[in-house]
């Protein structure tokens, strides 16, 4: 297989495309870099000049408010110029290809692309194209591609876990829900295994698990009560509306009964277990409100940390 | 025109012949093997020292893209590629635009191919009008126009009753039906083998059951009707086992595999390499190994190029949006030799899978160097190495997962009915 395309020949991070194959040292470096950025947000002047004069394009081929906004805030706090492009599905009807769009924006002297796309591998295609065109000074950060990866979400999840739990090597982490369609789950699984978390569990009905998911290094549970037992961290995944009723699941109600996180199910985990969710939440579908808003929930800190982690990623790739 | 091919090693799978001998060609036919005919004065001598002389290759799946997709390839470009690849007979599937569902289209194709005169073209007609799966085509008329069999190409036929009727109707006139075994529902939206790689990359997947269920359905209908079916592009170990069983049972079936699938597997997708987006999808190593073995034991009758010229615009896309397919006409021989070399298959057996095997499925004249046969000949240097790259390919399609690979086996001369149509 070819060299991991997000690293330079010297092994430095030039794009962030996936957490798969990323050395633990680089992950730790990103998390460490994010630490001081958390406190910047608490200052009166929330800006540092690390990316002054750089043009960052938020290239969103798929709708997103939260991720786009947090990238925008992260870039602005680094003093970059941010241009938001919500291309959505209309670009393809206009006939411009993905790479035509990229070439046009390069002609406008882009330094950084933050890309979200409905197709797995789209950011890899852009990164390979930039290399082929001799534009290795332009960086790509994957903000979610199809079912494949959402590496900054994975990193902010790792940051959150490290913040509350300190030592990765003693943890049991459960990821609950629609793993089949989830780029968040894939990135987090790669991140956790890279950081040597000994027990990573996925909990879902069999219709929401990809084939051979255990090859990613996880234990599979179909019974949520069994899977939550002894967990330090519970990560709930969002269930898309269109998947709640149909061939994958009979109803949102039955899903909640078996896989929704309730107070009594949470009681099966360790008493100090934390509850995470990448958002946006479906209250009453995958998680009940008292748990989402409860003392063990770290869902809002995740959002805060997310900005710091994205600042770290943007500053690190730009420097390489 | 009298032509002599001298100093070569003759391999004729039709007669299990492998020996050093000269070949004498006169009036489009093989006039003699080994000994010169009386008063032999050749107009031309081809020196085949160090080369193998075998029947022209026969390819069961070469998309020529005409009519309708001339921006991807034309008859001129692809028949030149066939000649450069040593292929003298090829069949083209009906998935053109419009599909080959009317005699006029087939006649035009045959006429254009004859004018170009670089390979014999055997069109496969559409099984249903527009490949839409609702109305049978006029198979009698299409056969008269030159169709050798009928198929849906890669377009699914959902309705099992319609498939039964199509087999019965084709069987009425003694035509064979070519089917690619893939269950539409299980394959829907999928672009990669349902395994670890697709799970890791988050690519929509096609399970092996899509192939085995389709095979079970086809075998059931073959038992019901007794009509012969040729199975196109087998992809899985389980599929191989089922075909082996069905052949043992005595069902009138034949089977081919795309040459890519003898070498690649899903791991070769790497980081979303759209060159490895093929249909059927590249499966696991176990599947690839089973396919490699099935060609040796004859479960698989023929290796085909599964030639599909795709332009750069079709490949420069995210993996799942990219157009499946790869150029293959010029790689059929070197990739078959590579397989034979790796599995220590005698050349005479290996070449049978790209000459006599597919010729029998086409129902064309047997590919042979015997006296009296049409002088369709391929002369190639098995040791000559070359690197697969855009400039080395005549086909308008430059995209293949083998770009950059060094392969052995270079065609030095291709003869069609005694005429040299390619030299290098």
Pairing of strands A233-236, A274-276: parallel
Q: Does residue A63 register a pLDDT over 90?
A: no
- Sketch the domain layout of chain A as residue ranges: 24-149+306-319, 151-302
Query: Given its phi and psi angles, is residue B303 left (phi above 0), alpha (psi -120 to 50 degrees) or beta?
Result: beta
Q: Do residues A206 and A259 touch, judged by C-beta distance below 8 A?
A: no
CA distances from B44 to A319, B87, B418, B420 (A): 68, 22, 11, 10
Distance (Å, whole) CA A202 – CA A189 = 9
- 3-class DSSP state of B351: helix
- Taking an 8 Å cut-off on Cβ atoms, the answer to whether A98 and B272 are in contact is no
Tokens standing for A289? 């409100």
pTM for this one? 0.94
B45-91 pLDDT, tens digit per residue, is 999 999 999 999 999 999 999 999 999 999 999 999 999 999 999 99
Q: Does residue B392 register a pLDDT over 70?
A: yes
Q: Give domain status of residue B272, yes or no.
A: yes
Interface of A with B in 37-56 (CB under 8 A): none
Q: Which residue of A has its CA nearest to B266?
A: A1
Interface of B with A in 156-215 (CB under 8 A): 194-196, 198-205, 207
Q: Give domain status of residue B397, yes or no.
A: no
Q: Does residue B129 register a pLDDT over 90?
A: yes
pLDDT band at A89 (very low <50, low <70, confident <90, very high): low
Mean pLDDT of chain A: 94
Q: Is A247 part of the contact surface with chain B (CB cutoff 8 Å)?
A: no
Distance (Å, whole) CA B42 – CA B28 = 13
Q: Does residue A305 register a pLDDT over 60?
A: yes
Order of all β-strands in the sheet with A55-60: A81-86, A55-60, A112-117, A139-145
Q: B126 vs chain A: nearest CA distance in angstroms?
A: 31
Instruction: For chain A, give percent helix, strand, coil, nearest 5.
Output: 45, 15, 40
Residue B234 backbone phi and psi in degrees, to 5: -65, 145
Tokens standing for B361? 């499925």
Q: Does residue B147 register a pLDDT over 90?
A: yes
What pLDDT is attached to residue A1? 42
What pLDDT is attached to residue A91? 55
Q: What is the mean pLDDT of residues B310-323?
A: 95
Q: Which residue of A has its CA nearest to B273?
A: A125
Q: Give domain status of residue B260, yes or no.
A: yes
Domain count, chain B: 1
A247 vs B90: which has the higher pLDDT: B90
Give A-chain residues touching B203 at CB under 8 angstroms: 120-121, 146-148
Q: What is the DSSP string of B271-288?
A: TT-GGG--SSPP--HHHH
Q: Does residue A241 register a pLDDT over 50?
A: yes
Catalytic residues of B: 306
A160-208 pLDDT, tens digit per residue, is 999 999 899 999 999 999 999 999 999 999 999 999 999 999 999 999 9
Distance (Å, whole) CA B22 – CA B34 = 5
* CATH number for the domain running over A151-302: 3.40.50.1370
Q: Is A178 part of the contact surface with chain B (CB cutoff 8 Å)?
A: no
Q: Give domain status of residue B212, yes or no.
A: yes
Give B-chain residues touching A146 at CB under 8 angstroms: 202-203, 318, 320
CA distances from B164 to B100, B181, B216, B227, B253 (A): 21, 15, 13, 10, 16
Q: Give domain status of residue B207, yes or no.
A: yes
- 3-class DSSP state of B229: strand
Task: Write out the H or E segment, with its range, that includes residue A221.
Answer: strand A219-221
What pLDDT is attached to residue B163? 97
ipTM of the complex: 0.94
Directed axis angle between helix A24-40 and helix A299-319, to 10°? 110
Pairing of strands B192-193, B205-206: parallel
Nearest to B232 by CA among B396, B95, B137, B73: B95
Domain membership of residue B329 as a residue range: 56-362
A22-53 pLDDT, tens digit per residue, is 999 999 999 999 999 999 888 888 899 999 99
Q: A158 vs chain B: nearest CA distance in angstroms?
A: 19
- 3-class DSSP state of B162: helix
Residue B76: give its domain's CATH number: 3.20.20.140
Q: Give domain status of residue B14, yes or no.
A: no
Q: Give domain status of residue B51, yes or no.
A: no
Q: Give domain status of residue B246, yes or no.
A: yes
Distance (Å, whole) CA B333 – CA B307 = 13
pLDDT band at A64 (very low <50, low <70, confident <90, very high): confident
CA atoms within 13 A on the CB side of B230: 30
Residue B306 backbone phi and psi in degrees, to 5: 50, 40
What pLDDT is attached to residue A45? 86
Q: Does residue A308 register a pLDDT over 80?
A: yes
**Identical fold, A24-149+306-319 and A151-302:** yes
Q: Which positions ≥6 away from A177 have C-beta within 8 Å?
A: A185, A203, A204, A208, A236, A237, A238, A239, A259, A286
Tell whether domain A24-149+306-319 is in CATH 3.40.50.10800.
no
């Amino acid at each position: 297989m070819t060299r991991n395309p997000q690293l330079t020949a010297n092994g430095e991070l030039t794009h962030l495309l996936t957490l798969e194959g990323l050395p633990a040292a680089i992950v730790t470096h990103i998390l460490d870099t994010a630490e001081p950025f958390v406190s910047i947000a608490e200052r009166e002047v929330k800006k540092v000049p690390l990316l002054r004069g750089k043009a960052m394009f938020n290239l969103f081929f798929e709708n997103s408010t939260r991720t786009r906004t947090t990238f925008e805030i992260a870039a602005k706090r680094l003093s970059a110029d941010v241009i938001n492009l919500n291309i959505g599905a209309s670009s393809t009807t206009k006939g411009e290809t993905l790479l035509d769009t990229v070439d046009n924006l390069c002609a406008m002297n882009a330094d950084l692309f933050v890309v979200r796309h409905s197709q797995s591998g789209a950011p890899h295609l852009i990164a390979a194209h930039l290399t082929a065109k001799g534009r290795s000074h332009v960086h790509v950060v994957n903000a979610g591609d199809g079912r494949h990866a959402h590496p900054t979400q994975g990193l902010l999840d790792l940051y959150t876990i490290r913040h509350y739990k300190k030592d990765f090597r003693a943890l049991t982490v459960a990821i609950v829900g629609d793993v089949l369609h989830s780029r968040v789950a894939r990135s987090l699984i790669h991140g956790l295994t890279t950081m040597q978390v000994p027990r990573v569990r996925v909990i879902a009905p069999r219709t929401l698990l990809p084939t051979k998911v255990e090859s990613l290094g996880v234990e599979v549970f179909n019974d949520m009560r069994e899977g939550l037992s002894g967990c330090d961290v519970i990560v709930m995944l969002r269930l898309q509306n269109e998947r709640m009723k149909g061939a994958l699941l009979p109803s949102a109600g039955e899903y909640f009964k078996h896989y929704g996180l309730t107070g009594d199910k949470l009681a099966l985990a360790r008493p100090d277990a934390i509850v995470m969710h990448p958002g946006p939440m479906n209250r009453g579908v995958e998680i009940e409100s008292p748990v989402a808003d409860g003392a063990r929930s770290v869902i809002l800190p995740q959002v805060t940390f997310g900005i710091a982690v994205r600042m770290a990623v943007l500053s690190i790739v730009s420097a390489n | 025109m009298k032509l002599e091919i001298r100093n070569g090693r003759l391999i004729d799978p039709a007669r299990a012949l492998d020996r050093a001998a000269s070949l004498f060609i006169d009036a489009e036919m093989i006039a003699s093997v080994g000994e010169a005919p009386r008063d032999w004065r050749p107009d031309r001598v081809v020196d085949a020292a160090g080369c193998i002389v075998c029947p022209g290759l026969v390819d069961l799946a070469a998309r020529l893209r005409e009519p309708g997709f001339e921006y991807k390839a034309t008859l001129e470009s692809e028949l030149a590629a066939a000649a450069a690849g040593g292929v003298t007979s090829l069949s083209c599937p009906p998935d053109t635009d419009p599909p080959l569902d009317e005699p006029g289209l087939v006649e035009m194709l045959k006429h254009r191919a004859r004018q170009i005169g670089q390979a014999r073209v055997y069109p496969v007609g559409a099984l249903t009008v527009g490949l839409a799966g609702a109305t049978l085509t006029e198979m009698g008329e299409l056969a008269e126009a030159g169709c050798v069999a009928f198929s849906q190409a890669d377009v699914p036929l959902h309705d099992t009753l319609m498939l039964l009727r199509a087999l019965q109707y084709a069987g009425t006139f003694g035509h064979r039906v070519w089917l690619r075994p893939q269950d539409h529902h299980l394959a829907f939206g999928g672009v990669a083998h349902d395994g670890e790689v697709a799970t890791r990359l988050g690519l929509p997947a096609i399970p092996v059951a899509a192939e085995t269920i389709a095979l079970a359905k086809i075998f059931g209908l073959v038992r019901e009707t007794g009509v012969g079916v040729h199975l196109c592009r087998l992809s899985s170990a389980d599929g191989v086992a089922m075909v082996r069983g069905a052949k043992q049972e005595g069902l009138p079936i034949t089977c081919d595999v795309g040459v890519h699938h003898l070498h690649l597997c899903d791991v070769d997708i790497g980081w979303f390499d759209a060159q490895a987006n093929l249909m059927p999808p590249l499966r696991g190593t176990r599947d690839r190994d089973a396919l490699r073995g099935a060609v040796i034991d004859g479960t698989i009758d023929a290796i085909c190029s599964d030639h599909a010229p795709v332009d750069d615009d079709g490949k420069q896309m995210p993996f799942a949006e990219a157009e499946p397919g790869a150029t293959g006409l010029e790689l059929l021989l070197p990739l078959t030799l590579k397989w034979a070399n790796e599995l220590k298959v005698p050349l005479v057996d290996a070449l049978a899978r790209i000459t006599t095997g597919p010729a029998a499925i086409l129902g064309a004249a047997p590919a042979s160097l015997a006296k009296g046969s049409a002088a369709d000949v391929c002369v190639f240097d098995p040791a000559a190495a070359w690197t697969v790259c855009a400039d080395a390919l005549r086909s308008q399609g430059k995209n293949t997962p083998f770009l950059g690979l060094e392969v052995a086996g270079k065609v030095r001369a291709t003869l069609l009915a005694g005429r040299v149509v390619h030299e290098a």
